[in-house]
Structure formats: structure tokens, C-alpha cells
Copies of this chain bind each other. A is one copy, B any other.
Amino acid sequence: MAAPSSNTCGLTERSIRERVPPLLTDLYQVTMAYAYWRTGRHQEPAVFELFFRNNPFGGGFTLFAGMQDCLLFLRSFHFTDEDVEFLRSVLPPATDPAFFQFLRGLDCSGVTLRAIPEGTVVFARVPLMEVAGPLAVVQLLETSLLCLVNYASLVCSNAARFRLAAGPKRKLLELGLRRAQGPDGGLTASRYTHIGGFDFTSNVQAGFQYGVPVAGTMAHSYVTSFTSLEEVLPKTLVAVNGDSTPVDIILLTKGWLSRVCELLGSQPGKIHEGELAAFLSYAIAYPQNFLPVIDSFSVGCSGLLNFCAVALALCELDYKPLGVRLDSGDLCRQSLEVRRVFRLCSKHFCVSAFDSLTIVGTNNITEQSMAELNEKENEIDVVGVGTHLVTCTQQPSLGCVYKVMLF
């Protein structure tokens, strides 16, 4: 696990002001604040409760998340001169100028937040947070607090449902950044799906800022960017232990490829040389972290054979290959075939490293298809989930509300 950078607590605190400026709110919060102020009710003590009315996804529970950001937001809440000047331009010209003075001096020093601990299982209609303070101030906080809790809790709960569907053994990888509602949606997803039970994220910033373990190796574009073994550079690798003479890894791999083809009765002519070159280049760069995506052309006729050849060459040099990723087609069926070949190689070539190779599956996984993995025979160790996790396709909003309890 990557620990968060030592400076990232400060980073999170600094960035809240950028992410959630006090103007990031519905205009009616400001117009209401003025109306309260005009009536002299702005300092009246008030209590609002934040809750939701139904568990999401037709389920029986929700995980509460977003509270840390709410606290940081409250701590940073104040209007700058620039903010106030903008509000002056938006509110009617007859608005009393003293109101803008009042806004300029506002902060949350008079506000008390009581909340359920972050990550707790919660249920419908139970207050997640109770916000008490001067009426005008707690009113001005509504939209921002809802925005910070709604999606965080939704995506955290969605992650927990994927976790439950996956069972305790399978590792889960979140990779939804490119499909989220913009940069902050992606970062929020990576952060709270980890709390919800995901093991890793592909999102590097989530590792940097929140210490979520990050994972990832290569995309199809990497594989298809190679066309021939000529492109492999350097062409040698030094064994882990012992002899420091560079070994011609291409030659070594070619030898293993022939043996693998022979073992499996495969046709060497169907093997894609560019893919082999990509795998080799990657293995030379990361001899201890070799986990290529093997379905760029054909898993059975090319990707799996190329993987085995390169991995066997690495094993011969005492490196330990990690595994493969499948990103298309019937993941269950393919994982069985991949595992069968791994076992065959392990036995035939006496390489025990092939007994513990990881198979990663990533292909438009939904909560339902995750659950089906428990019913269908398969050998997938790690599942990557993107779109359906971060967009919460089944129900893309939680619907928290912020209701006044007491004036």
C-alpha cells in the first residue's frame, strides 16, 4: 500500500477551498440568508439534519461517507471580497449594503456538527449529520454539505455492494477515473470505493492524496505500438542472483516460445510478433512486475503463448512474473483456459512461479456480473471495475436532504 505523502493532509485542506468555494451553492441559499437577515432572524439558533429517505440500489443499507470533507469545508468557509462583490452583482440593486458586510465577516465558528462516524452502515431517515448554528449560516451550508455527502456515500455504498457480490477472496480494483463526472468525481470515487471495500485504484492522485494502494500495468495501445522484435531495446537482462553477465532475453524467450507451442500444440505462425516485442520490452523494464494485457489479438493463439514464453524466460533468470489481464470476451471461460495452461507449464517445465500467477479481469463489470462470477466456474483473482462502479448506473444519485429540525 502506498502511504499518503506527508504533505497531503495539508494538500487536502488547501484544496477544499478550491474545490468547494462558498459560492458553490444554490442561489436561493443566499437570497434566503438575506431575507432572514432583513427580518433580523439570521442569528436565531437553528438545527438542520442531513439524511436520505431510501437506501440506494433497492438495497438494505448505505455507508455514510464525505464527513471529513464536510469538516474541512466548514473550517475553510468564508466569503472573500471577490465573492461578495459577485453576490452584489447578482442580488437586486435594492439589497441593503450592510448585508454584504455581514457576509464578509461570516465563518462557521458558531456552527456545531454532530455526525455518525465516516464509513458507518446507516439506514434511511436516520440523521447522518446534525448541523446547529446561526440560522443564516447553517442555511448557507446546505447545498455544499449535500454535494459532499450525497455522491461520497452513494459510491461508497456501491463499492460495498460490489465487495459483497465479489466475496471476501477476490481482490477489487477501481478504474473509473475516465468515466466519472469530471476530475473531482473521479478522485472522490477512488477515495470512497476504497473505504467501501475496494483493494486498489488505478488513480495515482488517490494514492498520493489519500494513501489508496494504486495498481496498473499496460493498455492495448502499448501492445499495438510495437510491430517487430527489432524495436526491443535493450535486448538483454541480468539474472536476479548470481551471474551478472547480460543474457539475450530475446533469444531466451524465442527458445521458450518454441517449447510452449510444442507443449500446447499451437502454431507459431499465428503468434503476433509485435505483441511479443511489447511483452519483452515491458518485462525488461519491469522484470519483477510483469503483468501484460493478453487479449490485444487472440488470447489462445498469441497473447497467452507470448506471456508464457516471456514469463518462463524471466523465471529462468529468477524473476517472478505476476500474471495477466483479460479485458474482453467471456472472462470466465478464458480464465479457465489460461489457468489450465499455467498449470500445464508449471508441471511440464517445473516452474512453481506459474502456480501463483494472478489473473485480472476487466470488462464492463456490473454488480450483477460480479455476482455471477461466484456461480460460474472461473479463475479470476482480481476484478477491475470502472463505469458501473463510479457512475452508479443502477441509481446515480442518493437523494440526501437537509431539513430544518428546530428554530
Contact = CB atoms under 8 A, between A and B. Distances in A.
A391 B398 CA distance: 11
Contacts of A287: 94
Nearest to A282: B35
A326 interface: no
Query: How many copies of this kind of chain does the complex include?
Result: 2
Given A27-B204, A38-B284, A407 B225 contact: yes
Interface residues of A, number: 104
A203 interface: yes
Contacts of A19: 18-19, 182-184
A285 B35 contact: yes
Contacts of A142: 178, 219, 221
A116 interface: no
A399 B221 CA distance: 17
A355 B33 CA distance: 30
A233 B31 contact: no
Nearest to A186: B147
A212 to B, nearest CB: 11
A28 B151 contact: no
Interface residues of A: mostly helix, strand, loop or mixed?
A: helix
Given A147-B186, A225-B404, A219 B39 contact: no
A285 B190 CA distance: 44
Instruction: Find the residue from A135, A139, A182, A202 having the highest chain B CB count within 10 A.
Output: A182
A74 B213 CA distance: 27
Contact of A181 (B5, B15, B28, B182): B182
B179 A214 contact: no
A150 B179 CA distance: 6
Contacts of A20: 183
Interface stretch (A79-87, A107-115, A120-128): A79-87
Nearest to A14: B18
A157 B5 CA distance: 39
Contact of A185 (B151, B208, B403): B151
10 contacts: A19-B182, A24-B204, A28-B202, A28-B219, A32-B221, A36-B225, A147-B180, A148-B183, A180-B185, A225-B407
Given A35-B218, A147-B178, 11 more contacts: A2-B89, A19-B19, A39-B233, A41-B225, A92-B286, A139-B221, A152-B182, A180-B181, A181-B189, A225-B407, A391-B396
